Amino acid sequence: MIDRAFWAGKKVLVTGHTGFKGSWMCEVLLAAGAEVTGMALAPDTSPSLFSLLRLEERMRSHLVDIRDGAAVRAVVDSAAPQIVLHLAAQALVRPGYADPVGTFATNVIGTAHVLDALRGQDQLRAAVIVTTDKVYHNNEWSYPYRESDALGGHDPYSASKACAELVAASYAKSFLLAQGVRLATARAGNVIGGGDWSTDRLIPDAVRAWSAGETLSVRRPGATRPWQHVLEPVAAYLALAKRLFEGGAAHDSYNFGPEPGAAATVRDVIEIARAAFGTGETSFGTVDAGPHEAGFLALETARARDSLGIRPRWSLEAGVTRTMDWYRGHRDGEDVRSLCAADIAAFDSVA
């Protein structure tokens, strides 16, 4: 999954390191011997993977709001990174409806603050700006979206991430490429995996309900998404960053997800999850409830496959099963670092 010889000793800045995906990213980087600095808000869930992995004791961790430009610049200056992985975001659709201004401030202005702080960083060579599969103008058609398709975003979260794509492209062309920094944006599908306790996410909601003996209520069982285990995008971001650092990847945008035909419905995911978890009841809605969310979304991943050699390693069933096994292990008192290490080793073992 990761070229440990490359990452050993590299100075890496990870924004959003206290989040679910960011915590997995830091765990992988630390295992490879990288010198990791993190910048993010404090964890917003209890428990949190960041705390359970004791990452604060194992890396340089700065609790900073990326909407504070001066604070962002101070962290970047002190870290002097060679590679930046920008994951910090307000990352949920429904909270975006509840606080649209805050969502735009974090995802657009916050991204601009991070990018602006990279100006003049002489040691910096590569930056990966993580957005989302929801940046596309969704026509609700059956075709997977390519990186060249129009950006859009009906809801504030999706629109803010589309805006972040434009901000990243502007900074790359106006400033960063000229100083020798290669930058790309990464658009990943819906992520699952052990250690996510966010609200309003399918698997965490299922684990909470089933662990409490309650019935899980699912709003849109027919919604189709490009689901993938968290180690898939983590590995992809790191592979992309390495290629950018070495000059082997173009300044561009990259989709990361399962094969286009492997996009699956919410019902499919829940049925696999329940079988793996071993217990739990689910109530499936018959009509859409709540604010607008896209009904169908799939990604064309040919660019990542052809130019970076990145292919999915785990099927949907494998990814969901590993996720539910992780949660059952945590429930039964197993060590969280051991659970993560087992998933990483299993992922690495796939040819």
- Ranges of residues in the chain with a pLDDT under 70 are 1, 287-295
Residue 94 in tokens: 């429904």
Going 90 to 192 to 40 to 188, the CA torsion angle's sign is negative
Q: What Rg do the C-alpha atoms of the chain give, in angstroms?
A: 19
CB distance 224 to 296 below 8 Å:
yes
Residue with the two structure tokens 């998404």: 225
Closest CA to 343 of 21, 3, 28, 16: 28
Q: What is the dihedral of CA 158, 340, 318, 133, to 10 degrees?
A: 10
pLDDT at residue 260 in the model: 81
pLDDT at residue 220 in the model: 86
Q: Is the peptide bond before 156 cis (omega within 30 degrees of 0)?
A: no
Residue with the two structure tokens 């604010």: 291
pLDDT at residue 290 in the model: 60
Classified as helix, coil or strand, 151 is strand
Tens digits of residue pLDDT in 86-101? 999 999 888 999 999 9
pLDDT at residue 287 in the model: 60
Task: Please write down the HEC assignment for all residues of 110-148.
Answer: HHHHHHHHHCCCCCCCEEEEECCHHHECCCCCCCCECCC
DSSP string, 60-117: EEEE--TT-HHHHHHHHHHH--SEEEE--S---HHHHHH-HHHHHIIIIIHHHHHHHH
- Residue 135 phi/psi, 5-degree rounding, is -75, -15
What distance, in Å, lies between the first and last C-alpha atoms of the chain?
A: 10
CA-to-CA separations, 29 to 24, 189, 316, in angstroms, rounded: 9, 22, 25
Q: Which residue type is seen at 256?
A: F
Longest dimension (CA), the chain: 57
pLDDT at residue 251 in the model: 83
Residue with the two structure tokens 């991943």: 301
Residue with the two structure tokens 């700065």: 62
Q: Which residues pair with 186 in a beta bridge?
A: 130, 254
Residue with the two structure tokens 């992520």: 191
Long-range contacts of 151-154 (CB under 8 A, 24+ apart): 154/292, 154/294
pLDDT at residue 124 in the model: 98
DSSP annotation of 296: B
Q: Which domains does the chain have, with CATH numbers?
A: 4-192+228-259+294-314 (3.40.50.720)
